[in-house]
Amino acid sequence: MSGIAGQFQRAADTHPMETDSARWWSIALASILGVTLFRIVCLAFNHTDLFVDEAQYWLWSREMAFGAYSKPPLIGWVIRLTTWMTGGEGTFDIRLAAPIMHAMTAAAMFYLGRMIYDARIGALAAIIYITLPGVSLSSLLISTDTPMLFFIVVSLILWRELAAVRDDGGPLGLMLAAGLGFAVGLGFLSKYAMAFLFPFVPLAALLDRNWWVRWSHAFLAGLVATAVVAPNLWWNYTHDFATARHTVSIAHWNAAGLNFGSALGFFGAQAGVVGPFVFIAMLMALRDMRTPTVRALCALSIPLLLLMTVQALVSRAFANWAVGAYAAGLLLATPWLAERPHWLRASLILNTVVAIILPLLTIFGTELRLPNGELALKRYLGRSALVSTAIADARRLDAHVLVASDRSFLAEMFYQLRDDHHIAPRAWNEGAEPPSSHYALLYSLLPGEATNALLLSRADSLPACIKDEPAEAQWVAAAGFMERATVGLWKIPASCLEGANHGP
């Protein structure tokens, strides 16, 4: 990648007026395809288990509903498409959309960068994007951030295109406005965090006329976006706003305070998401607020980053909650890096090394342990083996229903029992209101099923009504996410069913 940086610099020095988009596009495309092919090949040999969220998204792909407990439904639809195309439901089939969609986003970054600056900056932005550490990590597993980022970039492209024809009230403007609404709606159906970004678009338009659009076009885009998300809003209404309540609960606003360590940790973690050089470049670019372009890109990135930092200050925030800021933020950083070849090379080299190591780690590093003795990839290992043992013991004990309350168990149970006609997976809810998971919301244990059911649980996390019951089977979890924990299967006594919430 350092060679690519050199190509950009030499081209700038030798042909300062060159505007040959095809050449820059070929450089960007070769980089995108090369990185993506490497990721897909590594994905085929990936030895990690599906993470809890991934297995849950797979279940949504089978339900094909307009909503789900914790997030919007589009991620399930994407998985359904790739599993239909490949004809399988293995980890490769489920995760395949991740590297492909990131490649599509990188290509869209080229187009957006070319619109705002030129083809050279657009190509460099695409290459920087495809090698970002956060992109490298999320290309190894399927997550809601991946389609959301794609639709953010597409929405920004369509917004700029719409601004370019704001004096034209003809069909082109109407088509672009409808396309913008469709992209925003699909972004919202990818992840509700899409809603955090677009209130800042009017601010960008105020700072840069190149983002101005006709009110009639903005209104049409809003109508189309509302129509796209309406089925999901209806699903939430008919399910007691389960997704909204879950979103509020994970924000931990009920335990709000001032945690400066959390805020600093979140802000510092952003250097891990995009790489330290890109993050510093993004912040350094803010010193040049004289141009409308920089001011507008700042409006589309920095407020969201600050908003999530405040969220971390008063409660908590995960590092990926601010990823929506980096569609515009990357276009703040790229010109700054392009003017500083040493920074550019250092950034590309560091991020490329990470982009190579992470996929190889999932193939050759599953037994790698940290200095504290834990597996480096423990979050992504051991779940399949543990649940396979539980299912084998449940068959031996002639159980017809396997129950759990831990979402880590439930996700893998539903995945492994997807075509099983002898054992039904069910969620143990213990009367919790609202339901504690998607499984508890839609797949709770029914009263008539409890007579031949076994509960899968950690020995130290049993419901109070089962604590004194002997285990039907018990074992120590092997290496992975629950290493050395005692796990077992227990019969569910009738006293446990009294007052519990069973069924949707």
Residue 233: pLDDT over 90: yes
- pTM of this prediction? 0.91
Candidate from 104-108, 180-184, 429-433 with smallest mean pLDDT: 429-433
| Mean confidence (pLDDT) of the chain | 90
pLDDT at 498: 61
Residue-wise pLDDT tens digits, 298-328? 999 999 999 999 988 988 788 898 999 999 9
Task: Convert 229-253 to b/e letters by CB count within 10 Å (16 or more is b).
Answer: beebbebbeebeebbeebeeeebee
Q: In the beta sheet, which residues pair with residue 369?
A: 375
CA distance between the termini of the chain: 53
pLDDT at 10: 52
Would you place residue 502 in the very low, low, confident or very high pLDDT band (cuts 50, 70, 90)? very low
Helix (H/G/I), strand (E/B), else coil: 458: strand
Sheet of 486-491: strands edge to edge? 424-427, 401-404, 453-458, 486-491, 473-476
Statement: residue 504 has pLDDT above 90: no
Beta bridge partners of 486: 476
Quick check: 131 and 352 in contact, CB under 8 A?
A: yes
Q: How far apart are CA 369 and CA 393, in angstroms?
A: 30
Whether the predicted pLDDT of 477 surpasses 80: yes
